[in-house]
Amino acid sequence: MEKLDRKTSAENQTDTATNNNIAIIGVNRIGQTLYRQAKRFLNSHQKIVGFIKEYPLDEYDDQSSFPNILGEMDNLEDIVKRNNISQLIIAIHPQDVHIIHSAIQYCEKVKTDYYLTSSAYDIAPGNAMKELFKRLANLPKINIRYIIDFLMSLFSFLLLLPSWILIALIIKLDSRGPVLYSQERVGEDGRIFKLLKFRSFYLTRNNGEPSLESVGSYPSLSAFGRILKRYRLEDLPQLLNIILGDLSIIGPRPDEPYFHQKYSREIPFYENRLKLRPGLISLAHIETIGDNLIEDVREKLKYDLYYVDHHKSLFLNLKILIKSNLLVFNSKFN
């Protein structure tokens, strides 16, 4: 079975750089062998602090060969915090799919890195464990995706800077109010960030003062705002969000917190969109039309989850970039 590791937020990754406490999920033959032979593969900074049961406590008679049992999976969050655990090894036989799935769900819930023992364990245990601990080594990792996003966005920002200045001047002449505005969005791992846009609407008035309260409902578009909307020029400031690390160039479009919570309650697996950094453009928006009905959202989710699973495909990313540009170009003639 291939490794299924889940990376946590940037803050959690910083913590794991200095914390190498490891726990084994699985009070069984695989977990026992893993523990006994671990010293052959652990580096000087790593430490196995104990075991976590995949079954209730009373189902085991002999626990003497499993030192320091920390508790059960349903108490995983407390166990991880109490023992300062940064990584979990799921040492469950590959055929026990249901138990593996439950263990993964618990790890996802507490946002802790996890690793599966290889299906090659029974064939070549030494090599299988060597590969496992190599992945656990906490070596510095370079986020190539972010570097590419950063460089492309910075280049685009500098190239388009004259047009930004022109757009800003027209917005100020077209209607009163700020050039930019921001909205809260839900990003990777549920982190809230401010999404930037060019203002495309007239301000409402609150006690005689300009107000942005209408944003998010149905604000009245300004004359120039209609042009910004039609050609998606209002989204240009999101290049700054990419540079800041809030967005990627390609990824699921980020929701407002209200809609994310609503859809998460109504649509199974909707939260899986958050496994990947949201994007300026998305596969769902170039392949589907409309997002007003719950059926539209379900359809978009299929494409979002497909991209989450295949986001490393160069062909898929090129296809999205080309098709997105064609859609913008074609809109000029509609």
Asked if 101 and 109 count as a contact pair (C-beta separation under 8 A), the reply is no
Q: Map tokens 């909707």 to a residue.
A: 270
* The dihedral formed by the CA atoms of 298, 302, 304 and 310, expressed in degrees to the nearest 10: 170
- CATH 3.40.50.720, the chain: domain bounds: 10-135
Percent of the chain having pLDDT more than 90? 30
C-alpha atoms less than 13 angstroms from C-alpha of 75 in its C-beta half-sphere: 14
Give 110-123 pLDDT, tens digit per residue.
Answer: 778 877 775 545 44
Judge whether residue 316 has pLDDT over 80: yes
Nearest alpha carbon to residue 32 among 68, 84, 75, 71: 68
Angle 251-252-253 (CA atoms, 0-180°, nearest 5)? 110
Q: Which tokens is 37 given?
A: 């032979």
Percent of the chain having pLDDT more than 70? 77
Give 55-102 pLDDT, tens digit per residue.
Answer: 775 554 566 667 788 988 888 889 999 999 988 888 887 777 777 777
Give 159-201 pLDDT, tens digit per residue.
Answer: 999 999 999 999 999 888 899 999 999 998 788 899 999 998 8
Beta-strand pair 192-198/180-186: antiparallel
Judge whether residue 14 has pLDDT over 50: no
CA distance 142 to 144: 6
* pTM of the complete model: 0.58
Q: Which tokens is 290 given?
A: 């409309």
| Domain 10-135: CATH superfamily, name plus number | NAD(P)-binding Rossmann-like Domain (3.40.50.720)
| CA-CA-CA-CA torsion sign (252, 258, 260, 263) | negative
Nearest alpha carbon to residue 83 among 94, 68, 102: 68
Please enumerate in sequence order all residues whose Cβ is within 8 A of that of 63, keeping only pairs 6 or more positions apart, or say none. 27, 69
Q: Which tokens is 151 given?
A: 């460089």
Beta pairing partners, 89 = 24, 115
Asked if 163 and 191 count as a contact pair (C-beta separation under 8 A), the reply is no
